[in-house]
Amino acid sequence: MSPRVSLRHLQMVSAIAETGNVSAAASQIGLTQSALSHRIREAERLLNTPLFHRRQKRLVPTNAGERLLHAARVVLGEIERAEHDIDKLSVGIEHVVRLGHEAYGGYHWLPAFLAGFRTEHPEIGIEIIPDVSMSPFVALRDGLIDLSIVSGPVTRPGFRALPLFTDEMCAVMAEGHPLAGRAWLTPQEIAAEPYVTYHTTPAGGREYEQVFTRYRVLPTEVLRAGVTEAVVAFVRAGQGITIMPRWTLAPYLAQGGLATAGVTEQGLAIDWQAVLRRDEPTDSPAARLAAAMEGADLARL
């Protein structure tokens, strides 16, 4: 069966959902207000259902509108990625690997790594996909990214991991913090301080599992900061401490204002891995990129 709505209807739904009114949406996609109003009525006639209703002077998608909006974002996003890939072809890049990272990750190592990789594989380009840090496995499964670098164990079905290196999880605090200068901290000492973190959803193999749960303590106060830059900024300002992989922390330590300590006397190790979908061909551009990461000394970059 042929679709009843077209690409222009999907663009219309996306623009209205983003702006909340016909005038701004029409301006965004280069139509007059009356033309966009006609397009809304046309789509509603074709689908035989209202797509928007008015709430406090804003147009809000109905249930049917929300479903069409989801489809619009997927389709329009894929078209945008296809156009981006085609642009790359015009400058000699035949394949683009979409790289995502988890919340703990950083990209300070990527320029130096790519300098060598592009010499061997000039036909492969890399695009960093933002906003997948909280759910890189979901992004991989849904095809939003082709490769992710994650820390900790990979136990979910449907993925395969290539080991990169073992890192140290360390406690991080402002250089003037009362605990600064210590070689290592106990779980109880860490939990007694305001704890700055990305989010409060525990992740397998990380500090909630290896420190707080194992030793049956929890931070008395938690500040959720969302991204690495914000976590570091709050810690540097003396508003709490955090636990972070040393690899991720490296560029921030170089900026000064921070001190680190081991987590427990034994220390706390964590493994970095490059993760692909299990059905990813072994000779695909993403697999070749992951193999190059596995062979490189990323810890020193």
* Phi, then psi, of 269 in degrees rounded to 5: -95, 155
In this structure, are 176 and 72 located in the same domain?
Answer: no
Distance, CA of 1 to CA of 244 (rounded, Å):
52
Cβ burial 72-111 (10 Å sphere, 16+ → b, else e): beeeeeeeebeeebeebeeeebebbbbbbbbbbbbeebbe
One domain for residues 79 and 100: no
Asked whether residue 110 falls in the same domain as residue 150, the answer is yes
The token pair at 235 is 């810690």
Q: What is the pLDDT of residue 1?
A: 66
Confidence of residue 97 (pLDDT cuts 50, 70, 90): very high
pLDDT value, residue 129: 86
Q: Each residue of 58-76: pLDDT tens digit?
A: 899 999 999 999 988 888 8
> What secondary structure, in 3-state letters, does 61-77 show?
ECHHHHHHHHHHHHHHH
DSSP state of 241: B
Q: What is the pLDDT of residues 98-124, one digit of tens each?
A: 998 887 788 899 999 988 898 889 889
The CA–CA distances, whole Å, from 132 to 63, 92, 150 equal 26, 28, 12
Both 197 and 278 in one domain: the answer is yes
CATH number at residue 200: 3.40.190.290
pLDDT band, very low/low/confident/very high, at 275 (cuts 50, 70, 90): very high
3-class DSSP assignment, residue 123: coil
Model pLDDT, residue 88: 63
Residue with tokens 């395969």: 160
Average pLDDT, stretch 40-69?
91
Q: What is the mean pLDDT of the chain?
A: 89
Strand-pair partners of 269: 168
**153 touches 272 (CB < 8 A):** no
How far, in Å, CA of 161 to CA of 1, rounded?
A: 40
Which residue intervals of the chain are DSSP H helices? 7-19, 22-29, 33-47, 63-89, 110-120, 136-141, 187-191, 207, 228-236, 246-253, 285-295
Residue 166 pLDDT greater than 70, yes or no = yes
Domain that holds residue 49: 7-87
Q: At 16, list the tokens.
A: 């209205």
The predicted-structure confidence for 137-161, as pLDDT tens digits, reads as follows 988 988 889 999 998 888 889 999 9
Which SS3 state, helix, strand or coil, does residue 268 take?
strand
Is residue 264 domain-shared with residue 137, that is, in the same domain?
yes
pLDDT category of residue 247 using cuts at 50, 70 and 90: very high
Has residue 169 got a pLDDT over 70?
A: yes
> Which domain-ending residue is among 55, 87, 119?
87
- CA 264 to CA 271: how far, in whole Å? 18
pTM here? 0.68
Q: What percent of the chain has pLDDT over 90?
A: 54
Instruction: For residue 18, give the CATH number of its domain.
Output: 1.10.10.10
Asked whether residue 76 falls in the same domain as residue 107, the answer is: no
225: in domain: yes
Segment 191-208, tens digit of pLDDT: 999 999 987 766 666 788
Per-residue pLDDT, averaged over 238-260, amounts to 95
State percent of the chain over pLDDT 70. 95
**Lowest mean pLDDT across 156-170, 200-214, 238-252:** 200-214
Decide if 1 is inside a domain. no
Does the pLDDT of residue 130 top 60, yes or no?
yes
User: How many structural domains comprise the chain?
Assistant: 2
pLDDT digits (tens, 9 = 90+) for 222-242: 999 888 899 999 999 999 999
The token duo for 256 is: 């000064």
